[in-house]
Structures are given as C-alpha cells and as structure tokens.
Amino acid sequence: MSGPSRFATRTRRGFLGAGLAAAGVTALRAVPTAALDRRDVPGWDGEADVIVVGSGAGGISAAIEARRAGAEVLVLELFHIAGGSSSLSGGVCYMGGGTPLQKALGFTDTPEDMYRYLIEAGGPYAPADKIELYCEQSLDHYAWLVGTGVEYAPVYSDEKELAHQAASLYHSGSERNHPYRERVRPAPRGHVPPAVNMMGGSSLMTTLLAAADRLGVVLRTRVSCERLVTETDGSIAGVAVREKGTRRHLRARRGVVLAAGGFIHNPEMLKRPAPELYPCSGHWGRAGDLGMGIRMGMGVGANVLRMHHGFAVLPLYPPENVLKGVAVNRLAQRCIAEDSYYGAIGHEFLYNQGGRGWLIVDAGCDYPGPDARVVVAAHADDLATLGRALGLAPGALETTIDFYNRHAREGRDPLLGKSPAFLAPLERAPFKAYDLGVEKAFYAVHTFGGLETTLEGEVVNAWGEIIPGLYAAGRTSAGIPAAPYHASGLSIGDSTFFGRRAGAAVARRS
C-alpha cells in the first residue's frame, strides 16, 4: 500500500489530536498500563464484587449478568456519557437459527446453517469454538435481548445489506452472494431495533443501560481506568483509576471485566500492528477507543490475538445500480464480485490490493451526482483513453471489460459469480473511474484485535493460562469478528453475547 503523504499524516494526526483533546483524553495515550502490585497500593478507596471497565455493549451486558447473579457491580466509564461506540452504531446484532423474528417473517434458518456460513465466510482466522457456541445459543441470546427490553419490529428489508427505518430484519452479510448462496441456505440474520439513518445502537444501548440501572448496577462516569492491581499470586485485586484528577484504587472482590473498546483512535498503537487501518479516512468509533483495556490486560501478561485485523467498510452502495460497474485493482483486474458485502470489498482492496483500485462505470450505472464517498479519478469516451489516464498497461482495462461484457450479456459472471441482478455490459460512454484508493475513497474502519479469552470471557496469558479474576469482552477481546468481516452485527452480537458470559462467570467467583 502506498503510505500516507507527510501532509495527510499530519492532517489526520492533527484532526484526531484535536478531537481527543476536546474530549479531554489526550494524556491517556501516555499513561502507564503496567500492573500495580497490591503491596504498593496505599489503601482501597472503594470496592465492589465486580468492576467493569467501559459502558458499551460488552461492559453493560457483563454488568447485567453479573448483577443478576447476585454480584455488586460497579461500571466505570471514561466519558461523561455511557454507551461507547455501541451507542453510535447501527445496533445490528447478528442472530439466527430460527429466531421468532425470522419465523414471523417467513424465513427458515438453523443453527447449523448459521455456523456453516460464518465458518465458510470467516476464513482461516474465524474462531470456530466461539462461533459454534454463539450459533448454538443464538435463540437464547435473542430471548435475552428481548427480555431486557430490546424491541424488534416484524418488518423485513430487502435492501442490499442495509435495513431501513421501520425494518428489523435483513441480510446483513454475503449470505446471498457467490459462493455462499450455493453452499449454505441464505437467511437474513441482521436484527436491528427500528431506527432512522441506521442509528439502532442508540436505542439498543438506551435499553441495556436502563435494564442495568433497574437491576442496581452502579455507573460512574468520567473515571479513567489506568492500571490493574495484582495480588502477589498474579490474580487481579482491583483497578487504579484517575477520577477528578485524583488517583484512586478500587478493589474488585470477585474480578474485573475489561470492556473498554478497541484502539482505532490511538494512532501510535494503530500504526504498529494495524498499519493498513491507519491511513483510512473514517476511523470509526467514539473517542474512547484508545486501547486502554487491551494495554491494561497486556500489562498483566495477557496474550493478544489478531491485532492487525479490522473492519474495513468501503460503502459503494446505495444506489445498488453502481454495482453493475466493475471494480478493478492496479493491474486492471477484477478481484472481488462487486455485489459482495461492503466489508468484504473494503477488506479486499485495503488488505489484498495494496489499498488501490477503481470502480469503472458507464453512463448506465453511474452515481446520480457527486458522491462524498468516492471521487472521480478519470473519465473518457472510450476505455483505452480511460485506461491510459489511470496509468494502466495498454489494453489491460479493455481486456477486462471485454471479458466481463461478453458474459454479462448472457447474464453470467464466470470469473467471480456476481448475481445476475447486477450484471450489465459496460458500453455506454462516458466511462468513469472512481478512485477506490485508501487515501481517496471513504473507508470506515475499526479494530478487531484484542485480548485472548476463553468461552467464559476469562483472559488468557501467553502460556495459555487463565489470569485469575480477569475477564474481557467486546473489542477489548479477540472475539468472533475477524478479518475479512463478513456480516454486520457480529461485533455487537459478540460483545453482548460474550459480555453476558464474562459477567456470569466473574460473578461465580468467590
């Protein structure tokens, strides 16, 4: 990938720095996260059975379950408002196996089909044990969300990977794309509270936070958790925090759940394990995504997994009509079916094509007007001129489009299996190339890597041993979301599901 220019680097860092400073957290990037020995703690300033770091989907789900199991729970949140990135999100939760909503809307699904899709699409990094449990217990998870007050409307949306307004169920991944549609019966599994402009996360988090509050979970905001406190045997005794400018030490009688999100807003941390994500224009998430939870875990010897993985959305649609165009790499070759899930397209260009490529359209499938997501790299009345303007090898673009057109006229895509609905020959001038380069197009990205955890959310060290009293959930942990990401709703689904398990497990500790 071509690296960011000095100017672009400075601009982004300046922008991020300003955003974080406005949130009052600039200094956090430098705070030490190494463990603090209990013997160096002058005294406890407060205590609870369970301390949860972070108030997003992972943390609040853990808090609810720990409280229901009888534990006294304290949630600590860096910002003045609770909810984290989860409350900014679409609120889509990937569930299936025949949920009441799927059934009510006439869709057939089984836990086996759901598992097969997630394993097939997930690639070599898909954590099979977590996916298996997640699919087996998906109906229970649906019941849990509905039981806490989350509402789903019995409305299905057929729009491509986007549920709109009144709808609560849609195909949120590549289920209907080649090769998955031939291998596993496709089912819509994106469950989302109805909301305008894909803002279901606000409704989801309002509901979960209210449920936690009703149960008696205590939430303290504007508390920056900085270090874990360990006993001499390595087990977790509590956390060192900064609150109103003062260092305090809080004891966790049963354990600590780290649920402080990912690290997309920590440029120094991002650049090392995940340099592909660094130059992207849309670093997605609330400003608390500084990697503090991950570093606190690493500070007590926790292992990390998949730190280079991220969600990379390249949202070319809507309008779906542009998907009749052809996406090519810097060799003028097609490398992914254009109707693939937008996370798969983003992943392909960002990770596999060096962050470079173009979407070639003709007059029949162009955007209706200028679009903020993409910029025109070149336009011409014929493909040879367009190819030259892009600096492609002479004849390369024409060969690709000629092969594509020949089969598109027959409604086929023998190379990549694009659905017939998006096949049309590109033959009407003017032809345009939209720049899919990482520094030009809108790539929305966040991180997937985090602390290694067991199925119960226990954090594991580099030797595969459980660190007693330490749990993690959401994007602080390495959960089900792995690259390539193949369905919206897996991050919230993983955060809530494994957050619940972590909360239940920590509450069981004596």
Please answer whether residues 38 and 237 qualify as being in contact, where contact means their C-beta atoms are separated by less than 8 angstroms: yes
Q: Nearest distance from residue 397's CB to ligand FAD, in Å?
A: 35
Pick the stretch among 88-96, 103-111, 398-406, 451-459 that binds ligand FAD (CB under 6 A): 88-96
Which of 4, 90, 238, 255 touches ligand FAD by CB under 6 A?
90
Pick the stretch among 84-92, 245-253, 360-368, 370-378 that binds ligand FAD (CB under 6 A): 84-92
Q: Binding of ligand FAD at residue 57 (CB under 6 A)?
A: yes
Pick the stretch among 7-15, 53-61, 95-103, 400-408 that binds ligand FAD (CB under 6 A): 53-61
Distance from C-alpha of 4 to C-alpha of 198, rounded to nearest angstrom: 31
In the block, residue with structure tokens 């040879």:
384
Structure tokens at 2: 């071509």
Beta-strand pair 46-53/246-258 = parallel
Q: Binding of ligand FAD at residue 101 (CB under 6 A)?
A: no
Please say which residue, 53 or 441, places its beta carbon nearer to ligand FAD.
53
Neighbours of 465 (CB within 10 A): 12
Q: Which helix (H) or strand (E) holds 230?
A: strand 223-230
Q: Nearest distance from residue 492's CB to ligand FAD, in Å?
A: 3
Structure tokens at 356: 């470079």
Give the x/- contact pattern for ligand FAD in 297-336, rule: CB under 6 A: ----------------------------------------
Interacting positions 210-229 with ligand FAD (CB under 6 A): 223-225
Q: How many residues does the chain have?
A: 510
Neighbours of 330 (CB within 10 A): 18
Q: Binding of ligand FAD at residue 284 (CB under 6 A)?
A: yes
Which of 357, 474, 484, 503 touches ligand FAD by CB under 6 A?
474
Distance from C-alpha of 400 to C-alpha of 31, rounded to nearest angstrom: 52
Distance from C-alpha of 13 to C-alpha of 137, rounded to nearest angstrom: 42
Neighbours of 277 (CB within 10 A): 26
Structure tokens at 227: 């270090």
Which of 20, 50, 63, 86 touches ligand FAD by CB under 6 A?
86
Q: Which residues of 67-91 are buried (b: 16+ CB within 10 A; e: fewer)?
A: bbbebbbbbbbbbeebbbbbbbbbb
Please say which residue, 12 or 446, places its beta carbon nearer to ligand FAD.
446
List Cα–Cα distances, 177 to 321, 401, 486, in angstroms: 16, 21, 11
Please say which residue, 163 or 327, places its beta carbon nearer to ligand FAD.
163
Give the residue from 213, 211, 277, 334 showing the smallest Cα distance to 475: 277
In the block, residue with structure tokens 């009293």:
469
Please say which residue, 262 or 387, places its beta carbon nearer to ligand FAD.
262
Helix, strand, or coil (residue 363): coil
Please say which residue, 227 or 324, places its beta carbon nearer to ligand FAD.
227
Q: Binding of ligand FAD at residue 488 (CB under 6 A)?
A: yes
Which positions ≥6 away from 120 have C-beta within 8 Å? 179, 180, 183, 184
Pick the stretch among 49-57, 100-108, 112-120, 415-423 that binds ligand FAD (CB under 6 A): 49-57
Pick the stretch among 320-328, 353-361, 402-410, 488-496 that binds ligand FAD (CB under 6 A): 488-496
Q: Nearest distance from residue 61's CB to ligand FAD, in Å?
A: 8
Q: Binding of ligand FAD at residue 340 (CB under 6 A)?
A: no
Which residues contact ligand FAD by CB under 6 A? 53-59, 76-79, 84-86, 88-92, 223-225, 259-261, 284-286, 288-290, 292-293, 446, 474-476, 488-492, 495
